[in-house]
Amino acid sequence: MGKPLGFLVVGVSGAIVTLILVAAMFAPTGTRRQTPTGRNNVVTSDAIARRVAAAGGQSGDVQCSLAWSNYNDLDLWVVHDGEKIFFGHPREAFGRGSLDVDMNVSPETNRPCENIFWPRGSSPRGDFEVYVDHFRRHGRADPTPYMVRVLKEGRVQVFRGAIRHGERAHLVTRFTLAGGPVWRRRDLMPLAVALLLAFWIGYVVVGIRLFRATPGVQHTGEVVGAGTVSMLEAIAGPHMGEAFPLVARCLHVGRGAECAITLSRDEMVSRHHATLLRDRTGWRIEDNASSNGLYINGERASVRYVHAGDLIEVGRTVLRAKQEAR
């Protein structure tokens, strides 16, 4: 009876901890001091819009754009109902918000901009917070003045500020929209609680049944065959033979020298082609709106979990996911 009781204790404890974490996750984010320099400026608004359009940025029902005038790397964040859209998470999971312009990862221009938008017809609703973060200083110019243009409900606002490297991200503005069918966090609360409780109940039931079905098996606490993808190996294309260890939780794949997995000899790979993110489930790869797409085992994918043996195609390069040795 010792093992079944252990499964029960772990399951109940996990359910309680999960409920606490879910409640904290869906709780209001609190209030922060709004940047006091916001003001309307039609001329500046047009200038920002032209700069974003020249960089390939799109507009829509909601658009937030950031512009500054030196080589430093500023980042634009938009938090929509608790989900942060930024360079590490460029597309919403439960909406259509997307980061489509991200500049000065390396010091490429003194007229940079960034852009996050919701396409026309998406009618997003909910709570929005717009932030500016000083990610990296290239050179001696600091503080860095910036301008943020916000388009919502057919109206434009422009906000000004200045930020130094090392400061906390500036909260530029916050607003609430009552629009289309984007899920809000509080709408997902009952579903999240039900799914997580079902998981832990299933864990207890399946664990007890498996234990009872295998009397005589010595349990060592280790699952045979378990392992984690720890490396990508190029098996075809210009980088064939190269190996790329997965050593951080967020890795960029692309032609840019700033990418952790740099495929500079493959002209069909975009500068920031894809992003690898590690969570509790494993490694997840996301296509960053690349020109030639992302393919997993021959099928085009926008977001997919990576398993040992999977073949990842970016441009003309084929990467095989390898499992760490046990």
- Of residues 266, 274, 275, the one with CA closest to residue 315: 266
Model confidence band, residue 226 (pLDDT cutoffs 50, 70, 90): very low
Helix (H, G, I), strand (E, B) or coil at 32: coil
Q: What is the rounded CA–CA span in Å between residue 148 and residue 132?
A: 9
Q: Which residues 6+ apart lie within 8 Å of 206 measured at CB? A: none
Model confidence band, residue 39 (pLDDT cutoffs 50, 70, 90): very low
CATH entry 2.60.40 includes domain 40-177: yes
Q: Sketch the domain layout of the chain as residue ranges.
A: 40-177, 229-323
Domain 40-177 and domain 229-323, same fold? Reply is no
Sign, CA dihedral 106-305-269-112, equals: negative
Q: Which residues 6+ apart lie within 8 Å of 27 measured at CB? A: none
pTM of the predicted model as reported, rounded to 2 decimal places = 0.44
- Of residues 228, 201, 204, 247, the one with CA closest to residue 306: 228
Q: For the chain, give the percent of residues with pLDDT over 70.
A: 75
Helix ranges (DSSP H) in the chain:
2-25, 42-54, 185-213
Q: Tell me: pLDDT of 100 over 90.
A: yes
Q: What is the rounded CA–CA span in Å between residue 18 and residue 203?
A: 13
pLDDT tens, residue by residue, 258-303: 999 999 999 999 999 999 999 888 999 999 999 999 999 999 999 9
Query: Residue 189, exposed/middle/buried by CB under 10 A (0-12, 13-18, 19+)?
Result: middle
The predicted pLDDT at position 95 comes to 85
Q: What is the rounded CA–CA span in Å between residue 207 and residue 213?
A: 10
The predicted pLDDT at position 224 comes to 33
Q: What is the CA radius of gyration of the chain?
A: 23
Contact 253, 268 (CB under 8 A): no
The predicted pLDDT at position 287 comes to 95
Indicate the range of 25-34, 39-48, 126-135 predicted with least confidence.
25-34
Q: How far is CA 32 from CA 77, 142, 145, 246, 280, in A?
A: 15, 24, 21, 36, 30
Q: What is the rounded CA–CA span in Å between residue 293 and residue 271?
A: 12
Q: What is the rounded CA–CA span in Å between residue 102 and residue 133?
A: 13
Place of tokens 């507009």: 59
Tokens matching residue 287: 């296509």
Q: What is the rounded CA–CA span in Å between residue 124 and residue 63?
A: 11
Q: Around 228, how many Cα atoms within 13 Å sit in the side-chain half-sphere?
A: 12
Sign, CA dihedral 50-51-52-54, equals: positive
Q: What is the rounded CA–CA span in Å between residue 173 and residue 169?
A: 12
Place of tokens 């999971």: 93
Tokens matching residue 146: 């910036």
- Of residues 102, 146, 159, 139, the one with CA closest to residue 273: 102
Q: What is the rounded CA–CA span in Å between residue 127 and residue 188?
A: 15
Which is higher by pLDDT, 189 or 62?
Answer: 62
CB atoms within 10 A of CB 271: 19
Q: Give, to the nearest 10 degrees, the angle between helix 2-25 and helix 185-213.
A: 170
Torsion of CA 177, 183, 184, 190, to 10 degrees: 150
Tokens matching residue 19: 């409920």
| CATH label, 229-323, candidates 2.60.200.20, 3.50.50.60, 1.10.150.20, 2.40.10.340 | 2.60.200.20
